[in-house]
Amino acid sequence: MSEYKIEASGIRVLCDPESTRYAVLLENGDRWEMTERPTVRFSDGRSVPFPAPAAAERVSNGTSDGVRAIYAGFGGSGITVTTTVSLERTSGDLRFEVLVEGDRDGEIDSVLFPAPFDFGAKCGEGYTVLPRMQGTMFPAGQPIPVGGGLIFERTAYMPLYGQVRGGSGYAAIFDTPYDAAYEIDGENERILPRWLLSLAEMRYARRMLYRFRMPCDHNIIAKCYRAYVKERGGLVTLREKAARNPAVERLIGCPVIHTDIAVHISPKSDYYTPDKPERNDYFTSFDERARQLRRLKEKGLKRAYTHFDGWGRHGYDNLHPSPFPPNEAAGGADGMRRLADTCRELGYIFGIHDQYRDYYHDAPDFSFEEALTRHDGSHPYCSVWYGGPHSFLCSARAADYVRRNYDEFERLGIRIEGSYLDVFSVVELDECFSKTHPATRRDCAENRRRCLDILTDRGIIPSSEEILDCVLPSQVLCHHAPFFTSDLGSGHSEPVGIPIPLLNLVYHDCAVIPWIGLPGQRGGWGIPGNDSAYLHAILNGDPVYCPINATEEEIAAVNEACASAGRLAYAEMLRHEFDPENPRRQRAVFSDGTVTEVDFDTGEFSVKEP
């Protein structure tokens, strides 16, 4: 069996199905090579490398040329694996496809294909880009200190990674992203795509797409992916979202006020403190929150989006998806209605926290028949959060509860203007094996989007926790989307790699991403200990949070950041740059000509409008 050559758009690919070695040769002389054998992992713990192929042939169609190979004999199993490596003639896109057939239910754990590109760059000659939360890069020549990650989770907001070496680089895109992960050979700085089962079987062909660029940097990697999303209709901008839901216009340039109403911590919750009962049950009335908002208005906060936790019967993270009636001790439905009316009177947006994944056992209509069902017929169990024991509501059932609950708000005369459907845009996509409401991971993403779309159709601003690419077309606002740090629970954690706004380079004009911090404050959740979240907001053209008890000086700083964010909300972030003499000084360039500059050491910043 010989080596095959395919060539297009200045890229030549050498394919050897026998050894499973592939080499990409670029016009500038750079060579990117895969030398490791792909692997099938079985559920019994075996890892079986691809054997010699049973057959290989050239394949062509109207747009691409490639090589197909068929592999069999994986450790005595009955599976066959068909791989196709193809090069698009006009774009130069390189695709690797793998189709597994003949696997029995649960027989396979995963498939690693294609093998990673050998990196081998020396210090100062390149870096690896990963989509961990907002984004991070790891300089070449030193081990990557993180493991892999699941696509569409905090370890990969976007199905993307990339590497830059010398005069070239590539963007690697999971073209079939819903049942996918990546692994990292940190010592050798190599990244391996890993394909997961869908409802216990491989089911369909999996594809990776590589876009090589000369030259390349993290901006170009982001723009390769933005173009990919746009080509497929997945780039839904804020302008488009505002056209569908005019309430979005009111959000632009608003700070976020996030506070709570009531808290009740179940004795069965991990947060329960039996020796300090005052921490387990407390509330602030709806009317008191209204008075606090009036004081903010008097101090100069002209506009705001409010987010109230714990409005339900037992308070925050309790009884979902059935938290009605509104908390009686805090003022009940009448008090909640007065708070909503006060927000409207002040020109603020009235938003609430809501939840349709955690499915609490003490909810009045809880039933395991509607809970997420695992492959073995069991149901997930968790007791960490305030409401105590809960399972997960199957995503296929969530939309019906959203409709029911927002009908109830309308019946009560409480006008909801924004709603935060907790965790939908951060936790992994669920699989459900129920025979009456099965759901794949892709189904789960579509079901979560359907819930957000119900809000949009009612003129409510849809929000969720962070940003998952697969949910974003239906999402307008997130709680935050900062960086993957060494200890996300600490305000003094260290950056993991070098933080970069990879997400904003792709999606700045598609979502409102606020940052939690004021001038002079450093660290915070997802913020490196020596960084200022306020400066990240300025750099990214994003809004900030405003404390419910903010001073006039703090409100002035909030207004300044949010005025800049308002001007830039509909602008694409074109480039992010480090000062070559001091990487703590950074700048961003936007499509309207605005340039933002910050110095994370001195705290200085500037916003230069065109």
For residues 391 and 399, give the distance between their C-alpha atoms in angstroms, rounded to a whole number. Answer: 17
Give the tokens for residue 49.
């490398």
pLDDT, tens digit, 9 for 90 and up, residues 333-387: 999 999 999 999 999 999 999 999 999 999 999 999 999 999 999 999 999 999 9
- Tokens 């050239």 locate to 58
Residue 430: half-sphere exposure toward Cβ, Cα within 13 Å? 30
pLDDT, tens digit, 9 for 90 and up, residues 432-461: 999 999 999 999 999 999 999 999 999 999
Name the nearest CA neighbour of 255 among 304, 196, 219, 197: 304
> Radius of gyration (Cα) for the chain, nearest Å?
25
- Report which DSSP code applies to 393: B
Give the tokens for residue 559.
């207004």
3-class state of residue 129 by DSSP: strand
Which helix (DSSP H) or strand (DSSP E) does residue 336 occupy? helix 332-346
Are 4-231 and 263-275+309-479 equal in CATH topology? no
Task: Tell me the β-bridge partners of 587.
Answer: 577, 597
pLDDT at 468: 98
Q: Span 548-553, mean pLDDT?
A: 97
3-class state of residue 415 by DSSP: coil
pLDDT at 493: 84
Amino acid identity at 319: L
pLDDT at 2 exceeding the cut of 80: no
Determine the CATH number of domain 4-231.
2.70.98.10
Task: Tell me the β-bridge partners of 31.
Answer: 25
pLDDT, tens digit, 9 for 90 and up, residues 568-591: 999 999 999 999 999 999 999 999
- Report which DSSP code applies to 503: H
pLDDT at 134 exceeding the cut of 60: yes
pLDDT at 231: 96
For residues 308 and 338, give the distance between their C-alpha atoms in angstroms, rounded to a whole number. Answer: 14
Name the nearest CA neighbour of 165 among 130, 124, 121, 129: 121
pLDDT band at 430 (very low <50, low <70, confident <90, very high): very high
- Report which DSSP code applies to 37: P
Name the nearest CA neighbour of 13 among 89, 123, 70: 89
108-112: strand order across its sheet: 47-49, 39-42, 108-112, 190-196, 180-185, 149-150
Number of continuous H segments (helices) and E segments (strands) in the chain? 10, 34
pLDDT band at 491 (very low <50, low <70, confident <90, very high): low
Domain ranges of the chain: 4-231, 263-275+309-479
Q: How does the average pLDDT of the chain come out, rounded?
A: 96
pLDDT at 479: 98
pLDDT, tens digit, 9 for 90 and up, residues 63-94: 999 999 999 999 888 999 999 999 999 999 99
Residue 123: half-sphere exposure toward Cβ, Cα within 13 Å? 2
Of the candidate CATH numbers 3.30.499.10, 3.20.20.80, 2.60.120.260, 2.120.10.30, the domain formed by 263-275+309-479 belongs to 3.20.20.80
Give the tokens for residue 216.
């390349």
For residues 268 and 383, give the distance between their C-alpha atoms in angstroms, rounded to a whole number. Answer: 7
For residues 252 and 241, give the distance between their C-alpha atoms in angstroms, rounded to a whole number. Answer: 12
Name the nearest CA neighbour of 39 among 29, 49, 30, 31: 49
